Structure 1
Amino acid sequence: MKENPGHHVALVTFFFSKCEDQEAAAAVRLTRIKLLKPKDTLLLGHVYRLVSSQEVAKALRARKYEKMIKKE
Structure 2
Amino acid sequence: MIPGLQSFPGDVIHSSSYKSGKSYSGMNVLVVGSGNSVMEIAYDLAAHGANTSIIIRSPVCTHIIYYYF
Q: TM-score, normalised by structure 1?
A: 0.26
Q: TM-score, normalised by structure 2?
A: 0.26
Higher normalized strand content (fraction of residues): 1
* Larger of the two Rg values belongs to structure: 1
Structure with larger RCO (C-alpha < 8 A, sep 6+): 1
Higher normalized helix content (fraction of residues): 2
